[in-house]
Amino acid sequence: MHELSIAMSLLEIIERTARANGMSRVTKVLVKAGELTSVEPESLSFCFNEIKKESIAASAELLVEVVPLQGCCPVCGSDFDIKDSKLFCSMCGNRDIRIIAGEELCLFQVEGES
């Protein structure tokens, strides 16, 4: 299961981050999941809640924010949302666009108490 392995690596990073910041318990975790990662927020929270029990994040609340897919066009310089996997510029029709958001999966914030 995709989400379980993601939850496990998240927990590892959370524990490392918490220790590095002198936290004794983690209260809140914010994760940003790009649309392209096809991570399901509910399923990720479910997995996280299952594995967090014995960890420093046992009482932490996991928030998953889905980041929509966004592109930018090197020809006309516009930024736009990419809908239905249409990989071309909505302003000038250029097909050589760059993806600037929506591919990432990152641990955005860890809150806790020392």
The answer to the question of residue 94 lying near Zn ion (CB under 5 A) is: yes
Q: 63-82 mask for Zn ion (x: CB under 5 A)? A: ----------x-xx------
Residue 87 within binding range of Zn ion, rule CB under 5 A: no
Minimum CB distance to Zn ion, residue 91 (Å)? 4
The yes or no reply on residue 11 touching Zn ion (CB under 5 A) is: no
State in angstroms the smallest separation of the CB of 101 from Zn ion: 17
Strand partners, 32: 65, 106
Q: Output DSSP code: residue 13.
A: H
CB–CB of 40/4 below 8 Å? no
Question: Applying CB under 5 A, which residues contact Zn ion?
Answer: 73, 75-76, 89, 91-92, 94
